């Protein structure tokens, strides 16, 4: 008796999240901000690579900012700030993924009209973040050479919900005896046609190639979307501070009880 009811409640909550994400996506389109949600296992190199991407963008005069999610610390925000780009930390207090209400809350006060790229570093987790639309323009999944070639097959939803796949830490591929061709095949199996780029935060050329790819993607997306003047429907009247902030009312319980 209880099982079907729980499923139905979860569906309602997810619909609410999806509606909110759709509103936020329209707002991002209206400001011509390309929002990129980075998802991967813990330790794949999201922060390291993003720091270099932001540094490269700042150096080229491109306006970029970042939101970063973490269960318990603001370590990653401190690292990302070294790039010179504006950064805000979202501490999820144990929640294993970011949710759209947190993004909505944490962009308050930023004039997105002046921001071409907003990166969101999700909480390191190869399962849950795939189920939560944050209103992003592009979802980018990262897989490092140290994790094993089979991960796309074991976590297909993370790969088939992404728009771009990055194989990271390529500078370590030899000592890790990494099999690039098998990994590419595995990604292609679960996400046919997806673009796959090889990167290393230690190799500026690969960082620059990634930045070039993102700039081209934004240009193409701007050509296909018609901006409207839309404001985000805020979930809370309070404007969040730029510093470390706790998630709003979002908690693991929300999904099963709301």
Ligand X SMILES: Nc1nc2c(ncn2[C@@H]2O[C@H](COP(=O)(O)OP(=O)(O)OP(=O)(O)O)[C@@H](O)[C@H]2O)c(=O)[nH]1
33 binds ligand X (CB under 6 A): no
Residue whose CB is nearest to ligand X in the complex, by number: 124
Residue 232: strand, helix, or coil: coil
Q: How far is the CB of 145 from ligand X (least distance, A)?
A: 9
Closer residue to ligand X in complex, CB, 76/81: 76
Per DSSP, which regions of 122-202 are E strands? 138-144, 164-168, 195-198
Residue 214, phi then psi, degrees to nearest 5:
-65, -40
Q: Which does 33 bind (CB under 5 to 8 A by kind): ligand X, Mg ion, none?
A: none
Looking at 29, 48, 136, 198, which residue binds ligand X (CB under 6 A)? 48
Q: Which does 48 bind (CB under 5 to 8 A by kind): ligand X, Mg ion, none?
A: ligand X
Looking at 200, 235, 250, 254, which residue binds ligand X (CB under 6 A)? 200
The answer to whether the CB of 149 falls within 8 A of the CB of 178 is yes
Residue 216 neighbours by CB under 8 Å, 6+ apart: none
Looking at 43, 59, 84, 114, which residue binds ligand X (CB under 6 A)? 43
Distance between CA atoms of residues 182 and 179, nearest Å: 6
Q: How far is the CB of 250 from ligand X (least distance, A)?
A: 19
Strand order in the sheet with 34-39: 87-91, 64-70, 117-121, 34-39, 138-144, 164-168, 195-198
Closer residue to ligand X in complex, CB, 43/84: 43
Residue 167: strand, helix, or coil: strand
Q: How far is the CB of 69 from ligand X (least distance, A)?
A: 8
Q: Which of 108, 88, 105, 67 has the alpha carbon at shortest distance from 236?
A: 105
Looking at 201, 207, 210, 211, which residue binds ligand X (CB under 6 A)? 201
47 binds Mg ion (CB under 5 A): yes
Return left, alpha or beta for 140; rule: phi > 0 is left, psi -120 to 50 is alpha, else beta: beta
By CB under 5 A, the residues from 58 to 117 that bind Mg ion are: 76
183 binds ligand X (CB under 6 A): no
Closer residue to ligand X in complex, CB, 35/166: 166
Looking at 42, 59, 84, 227, which residue binds ligand X (CB under 6 A)? 42
Point out which residues bind Mg ion (CB under 5 A): 46-47, 76
């Amino acid at each position: 008796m209880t099982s079907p009811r729980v499923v139905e409640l979860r569906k309602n909550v997810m619909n609410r999240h999806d509606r909110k994400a759709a509103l936020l996506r329209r707002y991002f389109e209206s400001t011509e901000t390309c929002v990129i949600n980075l998802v991967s296992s813990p330790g794949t190199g999201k922060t390291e690579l993003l720091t270099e991407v932001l540094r490269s963008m700042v150096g080229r005069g491109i306006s970029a900012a970042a939101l970063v999610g973490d269960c318990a610390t603001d370590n990653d925000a401190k690292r990302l700030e070294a790039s010179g780009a504006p950064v805000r930390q979202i501490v999820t207090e144990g929640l294993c993924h970011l949710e759209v209400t947190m993004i909505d809350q944490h962009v308050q006060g930023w004039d997105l009209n002046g921001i071409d790229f907003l990166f969101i570093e999700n909480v390191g987790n190869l399962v849950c973040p795939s189920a939560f639309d944050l209103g992003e323009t592009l979802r980018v999944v990262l897989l490092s050479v140290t994790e094993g070639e089979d991960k796309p097959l074991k976590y297909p939803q993370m790969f088939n919900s992404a728009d771009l796949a990055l194989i990271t830490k390529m500078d370590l591929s030899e000592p890790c005896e990494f099999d690039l061709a098998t990994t590419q095949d595995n990604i292609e199996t679960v996400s046919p046609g997806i673009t796959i780029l090889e990167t290393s935060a230690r190799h500026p050329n690969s960082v620059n190639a990634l930045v070039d790819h993102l700039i081209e993607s934004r240009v193409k997306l701007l050509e296909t979307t018609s901006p409207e003047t839309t404001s985000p429907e805020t979930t809370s009247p309070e404007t969040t501070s730029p510093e470390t902030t706790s998630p709003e009312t979002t908690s693991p319980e929300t999904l099963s009880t709301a």
